C-alpha cells in the first residue's frame, strides 16, 4: 500500500503546460459566429422573453430526444421541480432516488414536499438498478427517478418493468446524458418525463443557466408551460393577468435558446469526440485507475470520465501539483449531507465506498490525445506503489 507522499519521487511538469479539467473555449469558438448572428436578430426584434427562437429550440430538442414535446425552463433544478409538480407528486409521496447524484435531484423532491427514499447503487457502474429499487418499494412509493450518472443510462428495460409492476411513475434525470442512448433510444424518452440541465459545462451547454423537460404527454407539457410562466394558461387572449394554477418564473431565456440551437447541430459530433477520448483512456490507464463499467446496451455520452483509484485524495493532490485538473462527483453522498440526514436510511455501502474512490479526469471533445496520455502516465507514476482494486471492467 501507499508509503505516503514523501516517498513519491516528483515528476517534473512538462514544458507544454497544464491539462485543464474542462475547456469550453473550443466548443464556444465553433458556434460563436452563429450565436452572434442569432443574438443580433433577438436584439433587433426586442423580443427577449419567449418568441420564435424558444419555440424553435423546443421543437428541435423534442425531435432530437424522440419525444412529442420539450418545454424550456430556467435551469435543470426547475426542470425537476416543475416535472414533479406536473405529475402531482408531493406530501405523503415517496420517490426512490440513488444517493450518489447531484443534490438538485433530491432538492427537487423535498421542494415539492415529497419524501426521498435513498437507495444504493452497483459498485462497478455507480448506477441504481431494478434490484435496488425493488428492495426500497413501500406502500407510499409513487415514483422512481432514474439518474443517468456521468453520461450513462442505467438498465432502462429492467427499471421500466419494475415501474410498471409496481404502478410507479418513471422520471429521468438526464442532466448528464445529452444524446446518450439505451438500445439506440435517447435519454429522456423512456419515462413520463425527462429532465435536462443545460448548465455551461454539460455536453449541450448554454452560455448561462437553462433547462428543459421532455415528454410525450400533452397534458404534462401544458401544465409545465403554464407553471413556468406564473400559472398562465396557453392561448388565452387575457392570459397576461389570468393565472389558472400556482406557478413560478422559470422561462428559458431567448438568447440561451439561440445558443442551444446553434450547439445542438454539433452535439453528436462532440459526443463522438468524447468517445474517442474515453477509448484512449481505457487503453492507457494503469490498473490502479479503474473506469466505471459501461453496460452492454448503453451508449454513454461520457459527460465525465470517472475512475476509481486507491488513496484518491493523495492521487488528486499529486495530479494538481503536476498541473492536471480533476474533479470529484460527488465527495459526499446526498443521504449524508446535513439538510437530508432526516431521510437517511443509514449505511449505503456501495455509494459510500465510491464517494471515497471516484475521481473525474479531464474530459471534453477537443481534449488532445497527448494530454490524455500525459494524464495516464502521471497516474501510472503516482499510483505505482498502490494496490489495484482488481480486474478492470470491460466496455
Give me the active site residues, please: 202
> What's the rounded Cα separation, in Å, for the pair 98 and 351?
9
Question: Is the Cβ–Cβ distance between 70 and 56 less than 8 Å?
Answer: no
Q: Number of helices (H) and strands (E) in the chain: give both, helices first.
A: 12, 13
Angle at 270 between CA 60 and CA 392, to 5 degrees: 125
Rounded to an integer, what distance in angstroms lies between the CA atom of residue 322 and that of residue 37?
41
Structure-block grid coordinates of residue 277:
477520448
Burial 203-229 (b: 16+ CB within 10 A, else e): bbbbbebbbbbbbbeeebbbbbbbbbb
Cell numbers 415529497 correspond to 114
Asked if residue 168 lies in contact with residue 136, where contact means CB atoms within 8 angstroms, the answer is no
Task: Give residues with Cβ within 8 angstroms of 155, minimum separation 6.
Answer: 127, 129, 130, 182, 295, 297, 298
- CA 213, 73, 244, 59 dihedral sign is negative
Positive or negative, the Cα torsion across 148, 210, 194, 332?
positive
Cα 133 to Cα 29, 38, 129, 175, 204, distances in angstroms? 43, 45, 7, 21, 29
Amino acid at each position: 500500500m501507499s508509503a505516503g507522499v514523501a516517498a513519491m519521487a516528483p515528476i517534473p511538469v512538462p514544458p507544454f503546460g497544464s491539462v485543464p479539467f474542462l475547456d469550453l473555449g473550443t466548443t464556444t469558438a465553433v458556434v460563436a459566429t452563429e450565436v452572434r448572428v442569432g443574438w443580433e436578430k433577438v436584439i433587433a426584434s426586442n423580443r427577449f422573453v419567449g418568441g420564435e427562437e424558444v419555440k424553435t429550440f423546443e421543437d428541435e430538442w423534442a425531435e432530437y430526444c424522440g419525444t412529442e414535446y420539450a418545454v424550456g425552463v430556467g435551469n435543470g433544478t426547475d426542470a425537476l421541480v416543475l416535472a414533479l409538480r406536473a405529475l402531482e407528486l408531493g406530501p405523503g409521496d415517496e420517490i426512490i432516488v440513488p444517493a450518489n447524484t447531484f443534490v438538485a435531484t433530491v432538492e427537487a423532491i423535498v421542494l415539492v414536499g415529497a419524501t426521498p427514499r435513498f437507495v444504493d447503487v452497483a459498485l462497478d457502474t455507480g448506477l441504481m438498478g431494478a434490484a435496488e429499487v425493488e428492495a426500497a418499494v413501500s406502500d407510499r412509493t409513487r415514483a422512481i427517478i432514474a439518474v443517468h450518472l456521468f453520461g450513462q443510462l442505467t438498465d432502462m428495460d429492467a427499471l421500466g418493468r419494475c415501474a410498471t409492476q409496481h404502478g410507479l411513475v418513471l422520471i429521468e434525470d438526464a442532466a448528464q446524458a445529452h444524446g446518450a442512448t439505451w438500445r439506440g433510444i435517447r435519454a429522456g424518452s423512456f419515462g413520463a418525463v425527462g429532465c435536462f440541465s443545460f448548465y455551461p459545462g454539460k455536453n449541450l451547454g448554454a452560455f448561462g443557466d437553462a433547462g428543459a423537460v421532455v415528454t410525450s404527454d400533452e397534458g404534462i407539457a401544458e401544465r409545465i408551460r403554464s407553471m413556468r410562466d406564473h400559472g398562465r394558461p396557453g392561448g388565452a387572449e387575457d392570459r397576461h393577468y389570468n393565472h389558472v394554477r400556482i406557478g413560478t418564473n422559470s422561462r428559458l431565456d431567448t438568447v440561451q435558446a439561440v445558443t442551444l440551437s446553434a450547439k445542438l447541430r454539433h452535439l453528436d459530433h462532440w459526443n463522438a469526440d468524447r468517445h474517442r477520448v474515453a477509448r484512449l483512456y481505457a487503453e492507457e490507464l494503469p490498473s490502479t485507475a479503474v473506469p466505471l463499467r459501461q453496460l452492454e446496451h448503453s451508449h454513454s455520452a461520457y459527460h465525465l470520465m470517472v475512475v476509481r483509484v486507491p488513496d484518491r485524495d493523495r492521487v488528486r493532490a499529486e495530479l494538481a501539483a503536476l498541473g492536471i485538473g480533476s474533479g470529484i462527483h460527488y465527495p459526499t453522498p446526498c443521504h449524508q449531507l446535513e439538510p437530508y440526514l432526516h431521510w437517511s436510511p443509514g449505511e449505503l455501502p456501495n455509494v459510500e465506498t465510491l464517494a471515497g474512490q471516484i475521481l473525474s479526469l479531464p474530459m471534453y471533445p477537443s481534449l488532445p490525445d497527448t494530454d490524455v496520455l500525459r494524464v495516464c502516465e502521471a497516474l501510472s507514476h503516482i499510483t505505482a506503489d498502490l494496490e489495484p482494486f482488481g480486474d478492470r471492467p470491460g466496455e
